[in-house]
Structure 1
Amino acid sequence: MTEQTSFQAKFILDKAHFTECYTQTSTVEHNRKTYFKANILTIFGLFILLFTPVNPYTAWFVIGLGLVESLSVYYHQPWWVFRQMLSKASNSEVTLTIDEQGILTESFHVNARLLWADVTDVKETELGFVIFFQLGKNQSKHYLSKSILSSDAQAFIKAQVAPST
């Protein structure tokens, strides 16, 4: 008879959790390439304003779009965390169960199971695990914080995704 392995943890979806999720999974960088679209809009607006007879309101509108785009890139993290805090799941308790089948997430608002067969990759970060999985044709990701996982659960996750030889 084989022994079933199962790990359970509970946590609250609070601001600290959402901030950790963002910092560990975000791919947004603050460099010239990220601000390219904002810079192009601003330069185009200035060009319209200075070198064409077009109504100046149009030029100022395009310049404003460039500035809004810059702000959206610069404040991406606080905006994302704020939107998560506005969700109905915010500040609710989540029960996480990790077993041979996969990862089960249960709360008042969500009951979801991620099967190990659907997992395509797991990236370990300093604070947790980013689990990549296939959702239809789209690649998605799920974050698990090490702070809520026991060392046995962490070892179990690593063993589940280790390539079998």
Structure 2
Amino acid sequence: MYTEKFVLDKPYFQECFDESIKLGDHNKPKYFLLVLLIALGLFSIYGLTEHYLGNFLILLAVVECLAFYYRRPWWIARQMLSRASGSTVELHIDDTHIEAKNPYKHYQLSWQEIDSIIETDKGLVLKSNKRMQYLSNRSISDDTRTFILSQAKK
């Protein structure tokens, strides 16, 4: 019914991360883990004769902070290093499912598997019980977008 093509390039990955991170579970730091690591680290430094464990736990808290701070560039770099980077994705949408193919990956979601379709500023996020898939408004036509949103209301 509808066929679209788009390239998995760096701007697409950046947009994908920015639009889907708002809806994910990992958009806030793990405060409890950070407080626990620092508290255990301080206890180990001041309570034990050897300070190695305390230093290690505090360093682990610092690494956790850095991992949260740099999660976007790290995720984008991993996507750019993948085989699929730079490949063209063919998107086929009909009354029964959405299918995406590139030379390295193929996935298919039936409309029954999709729990919700969330409109963002720059695209659509298809949420299923297994995963989230992002479709950029740049990569789909207005007719395709309208059709996808109409399927969500059924």
Q: TM-score when scaled to structure 1?
A: 0.84
Q: From 69, 72, 83, give the equivalent of 1:74.
A: 69
Unaligned runs of 5+ in 1: 1-5
Q: Is the 8 A contact 1:7 1:153 kept in 2?
A: yes
* Partner residue, 1:57: 52
Residue aligned with 1:10, SS:
strand
Supply the AA of the counterpart residue of 1:55: E
Which AA in structure 1 matches 2:143?
D
3-state SS in 2 of match to 1:148: coil
Separation in structure 1 between the aligned mates of residue 134 and residue 140 of structure 2, nearest angstrom: 12
Aligned AA for 2:27? E
Paired letter, 2:140: L
Q: Partner of 1:147 in structure 2? A: 138
Give the corresponding residue for 1:91.
Answer: 86
**Whole-Å Cα distance in 1 between the matches of residues 65 and 95 of structure 2?**
45
Equivalent residue for 1:38? 34
Structure 1 position 39, deviation (Å): 3.1
Unaligned runs of 5+ in 2: none
Structure of larger gyration radius: 1
RMSD across aligned C-alpha pairs, in angstroms?
1.6
**For the residues of structure 2 that align with 1:29 and 1:101, how far apart are their CA atoms?**
33
Q: 2:124 maps to which residue?
A: 129
Identical positions, percent: 35
State the match for 1:3 in structure 2: none
Q: Does 1:157 align with 2:144?
A: no
Structure 1 residues 100-148: Cα deviation after superposition (integer angstroms, max 9, x where no partner) = 12111111111222111211111111111111123xxxx3211111111
